[in-house]
Amino acid sequence: MPRIARKNTARADLALLKVTYAEASKRETDAQIEARLADRFDILDILTEGTIVGNSRALIVSGAPGVGKSFGVEKMLRQYDPSGETYTIVKGYTRPTGLVKLLYQYRHAGNIIVFDDADSVFQDDIGLNILKCVADTTDRRTVSWLSEGKLVDETTAEIIPRSFDFEGGIIFLSNLNFEYMIDKGSRIAPHLEAMMSRSFYLDLSMRSKRDSLIRIRQVIKAGMLADLPPASRDDVVGFIEANFERMRELSLRSAVKLAALRKTSSRWEAISRVTMLRAS
């Protein structure tokens, strides 16, 4: 099948999947949706803790931006280590050389590396092969970098060995839907299958706008926007509830933007309508 035809088929399948999710969501009450989402994010906490304490080696969390993947994981990491010395959070582009350096710095048991919205790491064959190694279930996970060039650990100025054992844990917070990419024969599908085989995989995709709305309520209730007075938080939630069908983006990031406007101006609602809602 020509590439364009495959892309069109994939888009059609994804659109059908969204419709199916939306129809299923319509049959649920708000209470049922809240319970379903709460269960999924409780599982995220359990799996995160399991990775932190070393019961599991790798966790992949998939879902759209702004659903609270980072919020929950970072909260648990701060509870585990308030100093932040045993974990690091990587955002943005990562090259294989940078990945090897990072793995060396956090190679010890009890250390955690979080790749948050750093999906470029899944687009490089070399990086993926390294990640498959450190996520493996074998007794020893040995990272090998046999390039002629030498890598230096900038924190200690020592030369990184060409091979070293990695004993830490890895958490991936990704916007990619691994299952969908595998089903549609993505170029990196074999690598993604291998990563899923080695890791716990949790899908936190939102089925509908109602799901996203209820998730926003949950996170705000759990302590997000704590710097706002309760009445102001209620104002933010009320604006989202009244306008969620028209919002350009329905996510926790939208709630943060609204909170900033609520603190900035008495005209926050008018400004929010202009900047955050689609034209009616």
At 94 the pLDDT is 84
- Taking only the tens place, the pLDDT of each residue in 59-108 is 999 988 888 898 889 999 999 999 999 999 999 888 888 999 999 999 99
What's this model's pTM, rounded to 2 decimal places?
Answer: 0.82
My answer on whether 177 and 230 are in the same domain is no
**Which tens digits make up the pLDDT trace of 127-150?**
889 999 999 999 999 999 887 678
* DSSP code for 119: G
Task: Say if residue 270 is in the same domain as residue 163.
Answer: no
pLDDT in tens, 148-189: 678 888 888 889 999 999 999 999 999 889 999 999 998 889
Residue 120 per-residue DSSP state: G
Residue 103, burial from CB neighbour count under 10 angstroms (0-12, 13-18, 19+): buried
In a domain, 1, yes or no: no
> Are 68 and 138 found together in one domain?
yes
Residue with tokens 């008018």: 270
Residues 159 and 244 in one domain: no
**DSSP assignment of 228-267:** S-HHHHHHHHHHHHHHTTTBS--SHHHHHHHHHHHHH-TT
How confident is the model over 12-55, as pLDDT tens digits?
Answer: 555 554 555 556 556 799 999 999 999 999 999 999 999 999 99
Instruction: State the Cα–Cα distance between residues 113 and 34, nearest whole angstrom.
Output: 30
Residue 58's domain is classified under what CATH number?
A: 3.40.50.300
Nearest to 134 by CA among 146, 120, 118, 145: 145
Are residues 189 and 76 part of one domain?
A: yes
Quick check: is 27 in a domain?
A: no
Q: How many domains does the chain have?
A: 2
**Do 230 and 118 share a structural domain?**
no
User: Which ranges of 109-163 would DSSP assign to H, the alpha helix?
Assistant: 125-134
- Give residue 223's pLDDT band: very low, low, confident or very high (50, 70, 90): confident
Q: Which two tokens stand for residue 91?
A: 């955002």
Residue 214 in any domain: the answer is no
Q: How far are the Cα atoms of 25, 43, 72 from residue 254, in angstroms, in the given order?
A: 22, 25, 17
In contact, 106 and 88? CB cutoff 8 Å: yes
Are 50 and 169 in the same domain? Answer: yes
pLDDT at residue 207, as a whole number: 87
61, 106 contact by CB (below 8 A): no
- What is the tens place of the pLDDT at every residue in 225-244? 999 999 999 999 999 999 99
β-pairing verdict for 158-159 and 152-153: antiparallel
**What is the extent of the structural domain holding 65?**
33-203
